[in-house]
Structures are given as C-alpha cells and as structure tokens.
Amino acid sequence: MTRGRLWGYFAGTTVVAALVGFLFGWYQAYPAQHSRDRALLRLRLSEARARTLDGRMALLGRNYGDARQHVAEAIRLLDAFKQSSQRELPPTESEKVDQAQQLLKDALGLAPTMPSSAAADSAAGARPEDQAGTKALQATNLLGEVYRATPEP
C-alpha cells in the first residue's frame, strides 16, 4: 500500500466520522433546542403577567407611580415577545396576547398620576384607577390563559 493511498483512506475516514458526528449532534440537539424555546416562551409570558399583576396591586394600593412603571414594563415585555416568540403560538393564543397588550395600553392611559377625588367620582361614575385595575385584571387573565395553553418544556 502506498503512502498516498494510506493518506486517502485516513482523510476519507476522517470526513465520514466528522459527518456522522455532526449529524448525531444535530439530531440530539434539536429536542433540547425545542424544549428550551418552549421554556423561554413560557418565561416571557410569565414575566409579562407578573408585571401586570404588580401593576394591578400597585393600583389597588394607590401607588400610581409604581403602577404606571409596572404596566409600561409589561407593555415593553409584550412588545419584545411579539418580535421574538409570538409566531410560535397558535393564532388564537396570539390574538389573546394582542388583546392583553391593548388592555394594558388602555390601563396605562387610565392610570392617573394622582388619585381622583371621591366627590367628583360619585357623579361621574367609576373612577379611572378602578377602570385601569379592571383592564389590568383582564390582561392578566388573558396572559394566564395563553401561559396555560403553551406546552410545558
């Protein structure tokens, strides 16, 4: 056997071994990546839901500055979610995320910077901070439904 033929066998064996290793690694990594993507999807949803709940609790505690910050952060998280992960959801669940984001934007518009007086509210109906709390609760419920509908990793 010549030296050239020996190097040829060595190179061919190396290429085949590298190809088999690459395919085996890709095949084993795919389920792990899929599981990781689902876990990140659920993490992003739960983070936005937690911020929404924090905002609602701040509204109930009459801490309007914190409430506005929490709701604005939840909106930002849902914007980032829409850009990265929303395409992985079924269309019905994706619509719920859009509805929750719109409810949060409405709640942010209703959340006052100062509490409204009780005398003016009795004549005008529901207070804006109560309406904002109700919208935040609806958004929380929608995000919870989407979270429960996503498969576990």
Domain boundaries, the chain: 36-149
Alpha-helical segments (H) within 111-127: 118-124
Q: Give 2: exposed, middle or buried? Use CB within 10 Å, 0-12, 13-18, 19+.
A: exposed
This prediction's pTM: 0.72
Give mean pLDDT, residues 53-76.
90
- pLDDT number for residue 65: 86
Residue 7 token pair: 């190097």
Angstrom distance (rounded) from CA 16 to CA 73 = 51
Q: For residue 43, is pLDDT > 80?
A: yes
Whether the Cβ atoms of residue 9 and residue 123 lie closer than 8 Å to each other: no
Q: How confident is the model at residue 114 (pLDDT cuts 50, 70, 90)?
A: low
Query: Between 17 and 112, where is the model more confident?
Result: 17
pLDDT, tens digit (0-9, with 9 covering 90-100), for 123-133 = 455 788 888 88
Q: What's the CATH class of domain 36-149?
A: mainly alpha
